Amino acid sequence: MSGAAVWSSGYLIGVVSLHHATDGPGRLTASRVQRWYKSLSRDQIDELSELIGLPTRAAHLTRLPPPSAQLQLADDDPAEALAREVSRQWRKEEEQRRVHDPFPLPLRFRCTDRNVFDHWANIRKLPRGAAAHPLPLDGELDQIVEAYLSVPSSRLVVLGEAGAGKSILTLRFLVDWLDARVPGDRVPVIFGLGSWDPAATSLRDWMCAQLVRDHPFLAAPAAHGGSFARALLDTGKILPVLDGFDEIPSGLHGKALEALNKATTMPLLLTSRPDEYSRAVNDSKESDVLTAAAVIELEGLTVEDYGDYLTRASRPVRGGGPDSTVWDTVLARLRETPFTPCTANLAEVLSTPLMVSLARTIYSDAPGQDPRELLDFPTPEALQKHLLAAFIPAVYKLAPTDDRDADRPRRRRRHWTPEHAQHWLGYLAAHLAELRTHDLAWWQLGAAVSRSTRMLVVGFLAGMALGVPTGIGNLPVDLVGTTHPLGFAIERGLLVWLLHGLVAGLVFGLVYGFARRGPASEPSTLHIQLFGGIRRNAAEIIRRFVLGFSFGVPAAIALELLDRFVIGPLGFDDGLSGGLRGALLFPAELGLGAGFALAIMAWLETPIDTTSAISASDLLRTNRKNAFVYMLVWLLVLGLPAGIAIGGAPGYLGEFATGPVLGLLAGLTFGIEGAFGGGLGYGLSFTAWGQWVALSRIWLPLTGRLPWAVVAFLDDAHERGVLRRAGAVYQFRHAQLEAHLAHTFQTHHASRRPSSPIMAEREPLATGSASP
């Protein structure tokens, strides 16, 4: 065959060739460049590389149209902003996981032999009657993008056992895709399927919610209605990487496949454990394969795959030669006597990247450990359990890597003991098992606490938030505005503290218990911005005002009745109630103040901008700032009108009203009471940050289930490689480790809490997707 390369704008797009008579009828032919990498040998690819400049791998091809001045999109285009954020997040995660240290493990995949895929004619999108042949999809880790692009339907399923490397493969797919991406291409986004209930939520609605959670700027309204997240999904700008089909409860597998098959035009890459996926598509008459999807399966590692990896990841032992390491004896046994029981057990366990990475951490990274003990275990299960149990003590003996971003505040380094870390991580793993998810979200940490306990904690803190400033604020007002002595002011302040706090605690606790029967409050994906930004519509602002007014008026009436019919008859009437006029004005003032406070906050809230990379800490920090602004708004909205009205209206409170001094004190008192009683009480009861403070920062550490510095502990666990970041949530880096920690925690505490609901009467949580 002879031919000429075809170039366009400096890019190779194909070859036009003239077949010789010996090859068949003489004719001009053309073929897609991407197909050459499957049909030609490596020597032929190398020869074409020398002759016409063909890249040696398909992943290095530049897809058309090439970037140009006309095709460059604006920096604030949501798809491009999402691509930058996804790239930044997962490249950081790849670095944290030391994927390239010393080199990536050589994962391999092949077309599966299982009866779980569609007709090849459907996969290849062939016309009616055309002959269909299987696609050559076998390859290695760095060829996953090539394999995906060679599937005409753009739908690919990746099967692998727990720990087989599905997460490493999806990470490599995402990073390689983004390396070759040009503006306007789809953006690959990883979605953990474990949180999807296909019986309750459509696939697109669920993906839209996940996008907004992990990338809050996508909540902003799009030009033609809906959010940016919905617009990106509807216009096909998202390439879903659906991780962990096996994590969906088995009873919902059929509905999940049905929903995926309704979206036949949606390109996707889906991962699952093989047995669960096989049962989903074969176990009933209603079952069906994933339409037009090819299926590949990950292969196990051999000693030749991980031997050099473990050796180069270990410190050299100079006494035995320059290349001698602690692994030499073990690797020699695996190569020389692979069929003895102990070496066969070790070879079986090390066939997965998860166990290789655990073994590296325990024996290569930590000094003084001897891997020869791995040859002493009688069964693969015992050896696997040993590696899982030794991982946490090993990583908490090492100093964490410092992967903190330069633009984030630096915290004082804390040192956690392996025993404490094991206990706290075990609680977190058991918490995830109870919630049936792998997503460790800070706003859900208190969800495992019983509702009655949450009501008591929130009610107590809300009562203290109103009672303390009210009781303390009573002192200067009574001393300046009345002739009562200091003792009377102190006694009345204590009584007001007790009674107002009790009523506020009961009200907020009961309202919280009634309103929080469902899932935990979602964090706000908005931040406070005084000028500019995208504002809420008038309907939402009015709704917030009505909500505040309808809550403020009854609260004011309850406090007024308490002052007039309880505190007064007890002999602590200070004469500052204002009579009938005060009784009428106070509910109106509090109702209008609460309404205006919520309305102003609704107006100030704007979606987080596209330049902000969102992590769990970032989202928590944004919600905390919002809560403090809430308190400031309540202070100003309630304090200023009260101060002006009382200070500028002599006689309003009777003979004791003396003008601006009392007005200043009254305004300050009302403002502080509003800030803490209204703003903080509202925040504790109705916002994710408030419940985080009440439960995760106070109650759970107080009861020993979490450390006091929760965020610092989670960040440290991420730096040590125990957790990984996935948008606004954390996940255990290995789902098998998560299951082991949860089981250990439950077993250890079973004698103390025999009726613990954690993991009881629940379907076991699948553990495939978070493994490497």
pLDDT tens digits, one per residue of 47-56: 777 777 777 7
Average of pLDDT values for 563-590?
Answer: 73
Among the residue ranges 148-152, 388-392, 488-492, 610-614, the one predicted with the least confidence is 610-614
pLDDT at residue 22 in the model: 42
Residue 266 has pLDDT above 50, yes or no: yes
Please, which pLDDT band fits residue 463 given cuts at 50, 70 and 90?
A: confident
Q: Which stretch of 215-219, 275-279, 375-379, 663-667 has the lowest confidence by average pLDDT? A: 663-667
What residues contact 707, with CB distance under 8 A and at least 6 apart? 416, 420, 424, 701, 713
pLDDT value at 766 more than 50: no
Question: What confidence tens digit (pLDDT) does each residue in 522-555 have?
Answer: 666 555 565 555 555 677 788 878 877 887 788 7
| Section 560-581 average pLDDT | 74
Contact 770, 273 (CB under 8 A): no
Span 271-276, mean pLDDT?
95
Q: Does 647 score more than 60 pLDDT? A: no
Tokens of 55: 């890249």
Give the CA count within 13 Å in the CB-facing half-sphere of 418.
11
Amino acid code (one letter) for 619: L
Q: DSSP for 504-538?
A: HHHHHHHHHHHHTSSSPPPPP-EEE-SSSSPPPPH
* Rounded CA separation 97/320 (Å): 30
Please report which confidence band the pLDDT of residue 693 belongs to, taking 50, 70 and 90 as the band edges: confident
Q: What is the pLDDT of residue 19?
A: 46
Of 65-69, 378-382, 483-487, 719-723, the poorest mean pLDDT is in: 65-69
Say which residue, 494 or 606, is predicted with more confidence.
494
Residue 263's CB is within 10 A of a number of other CB atoms, namely 15
Residue 363 has pLDDT above 80, yes or no: yes
DSSP state of 288: -
The overall average pLDDT reported for the chain is: 79
Vertex 184, ends 180 and 185: CA angle to 5°?
45
Predicted confidence (pLDDT) at residue 309 exceeds the cutoff of 80: yes
CA atoms within 13 A on the CB side of 240: 29
For range 8-18, the mean pLDDT? 56
DSSP 8-state code for residue 695? I
Q: Which residues contact 746 (CB under 8 A, 6 or more apart)?
A: 430, 756, 758, 759
Q: What is the pLDDT of residues 603-633, one digit of tens each?
A: 776 655 544 445 666 777 777 777 777 777 7
Judge whether residue 521 has pLDDT over 70: no
Pick from 18-22, 226-230, 749-753 the range whose average pLDDT is largest: 226-230
Least confident piece of the model among 19-33, 270-284, 409-423, 427-441: 19-33
pTM of the model: 0.76
pLDDT confidence tier of residue 66, bands split at 50, 70 and 90: very low
Q: Which of 131, 147, 130 is nearest to 139 (CA)?
A: 147
